[in-house]
Amino acid sequence: MSVDLKPIRAFLEPAHSALAEKAEAFGRDVLASRKPPENDVDARSEARALVKLMGEAGLFAPIQAQDYRGCCLLREALSFHSPLADAVFALQALGATPLFLSGTPLQLALAREAVTGAEMGAFAMTEPEAGTDAHAMACVARRDGDGYVLNGVKTLISNGGLADFYVVFAAVERGNPKSISAFLVDSHTAGLEFLRPLVMAAPHPLGEIAFRDCRVPESARIGREGEGLKLALSTLDRLRATVGAAACGMAARALGEAVGHALTRRQFGKPLADLQLVQEKIARMAIRLRASRLLVYEAAWEKDKGAERVTLESGMAKAFATENAQTVVDDAIQILGGRGVLKESMVDLLYRSVRALRIYEGTTEIQHLLVAAQILKPVKA
């Protein structure tokens, strides 16, 4: 299996074995035969196809169940076979989770549609001048009668120009971060514009959108006014460990590709795997992967068993797993040599895909600050 359950068995429930088998079957029977997209247009078409296939297969169910260990298992398995399929899962989780946490009955109905794959979501928070510093958010939702009028630009939005709905964060009072609220905006709403695609090294539907006097009813607000930032951080706190799981899936695939190559490629009259320097790399890769998975599933387990916040655990998991996955993939390319940097190589796709995981949903540096704050807080108190 692409997901080895033995090292993480202590963190799982019996039902997770069946979920892992379902994810493995989907990867083997559906994803393995699909060619990775080569450009942005193809990536958008493939993402739309994948969300439908994954919904029909029931792979989004753990999002609704708020089963974060299940989400980790799925992201690990999906990223092993297809970084784009993993991104599709991640974006459905980001789009639907705020609705499951604070949505009205109508918003919950849309979230359930997203879980079936019938609707595609997006999480619109980042702006040209507001990334990690959410307090610098310039997008405004001005109150107007029985609704709000949105104005502003959101950038680096995954599924930008592709999503059926956006979870949008905007300040009700310009310059007041305490007024940031969340809104559910249909992609066909007048005043919502797709400005341009943003092309990544690894094909991924990323884009920039704008709101120009985009009017939404009060019923579009998710949760209470002024609680948008809290909702965004709560969503990220829940899902951050799953980013680490995706990194583990990519690292596991890279390790497998490296081992396979080392056993079959002969140099100096013997397989590469007989060379001690290659063995050292393989051992280091395996150790990094094992440690990363333990941190990831511990964080998800803590959340699943009822912890209100897992800022420390998820921060550690994401930072450690994504940084080490980058190293593992780089070592795999070094073992494969020239073959590893060919565009047709799986490890080349992994190399281009894994880099973004160290940035989105909070950079490694921000995770370190969050972890340090959690450690220092009780001592200061």
Q: Quote the CA–CA distance of 125 and 127 in Å, as a whole number.
A: 7
Residue pLDDT, tens place only, 242-273: 999 999 999 999 999 999 999 999 999 999 99
β-strands 147-158, 206-217: how paired? antiparallel
Domain total in the chain: 3
Q: What is the DSSP letter of 37?
A: P
Paired residues of 98 in beta bridges: none
**55-68 b/e (C-beta count within 10 Å ≥ 16 → b):** bebebbbbbbeebb
Q: What is the pTM of this model?
A: 0.95
Contacts of 279 (CB under 8 A, 6+ apart): 273
Q: Quote the CA–CA distance of 239 and 81 in Å, as a whole number.
A: 20
β-strands 165-171, 180-186: how paired? antiparallel
The per-residue pLDDT for 2 is: 80
Is 208 annotated as catalytic?
A: no
At 378, list the tokens. 């009780």
Q: Judge if 63 and 155 occupy the same domain.
A: no
Given a contact cutoff of 8 angstroms between Cβ atoms, the answer to whether 218 and 103 are in contact is no
Under DSSP, is residue 143 helix (H, G, I), strand (E, B) or coil? strand
247 part of a folded domain: yes
Q: Is the pLDDT of residue 132 over 90?
A: no
Q: Judge if 145 and 240 occupy the same domain.
A: no
Q: Is the pLDDT of residue 1 over 80?
A: no
Q: What is the CATH number of the domain that holds 78?
A: 1.10.540.10
Residue pLDDT, tens place only, 165-206: 999 999 999 889 999 999 999 999 999 999 999 999 999 999
The per-residue pLDDT for 82 is: 97
Q: Quote the CA–CA distance of 71 and 240 in Å, as a whole number.
A: 11
β-strands 121-124, 165-171: how paired? parallel
Q: Quote the CA–CA distance of 268 and 120 in Å, as a whole number.
A: 52
Single out the residue in 116, 149, 164 at which a domain terminates: 116
The per-residue pLDDT for 133 is: 85
At 137, list the tokens. 């958010």
Q: Judge if 18 and 84 occupy the same domain.
A: yes
**Residue 33: alpha-carbon gap to chain centroid:** 23
Single out the residue in 76, 100, 116 at which a domain terminates: 116
Residue pLDDT, tens place only, 89-107: 999 999 999 999 999 999 9
241 part of a folded domain: yes
Q: Is the pLDDT of residue 40 over 90?
A: yes
The per-residue pLDDT for 161 is: 96
Query: Which residue in this structure is represented by tokens 């459905």?
Result: 92
Give residue 319's domain range: 229-380
The per-residue pLDDT for 17 is: 96
Single out the residue in 199, 226, 253 at which a domain terminates: 226
Average pLDDT along the chain = 96
Mean pLDDT across the stretch 14-38?
Answer: 95
Q: Judge if 255 and 372 occupy the same domain.
A: yes
Under DSSP, is residue 151 helix (H, G, I), strand (E, B) or coil? strand
Mean pLDDT across the stretch 351-369?
Answer: 95
Active-site annotation holder among 38, 257, 361, 365 = 361
Q: Is the pLDDT of residue 158 over 90?
A: yes
Q: Judge if 238 and 358 occupy the same domain.
A: yes
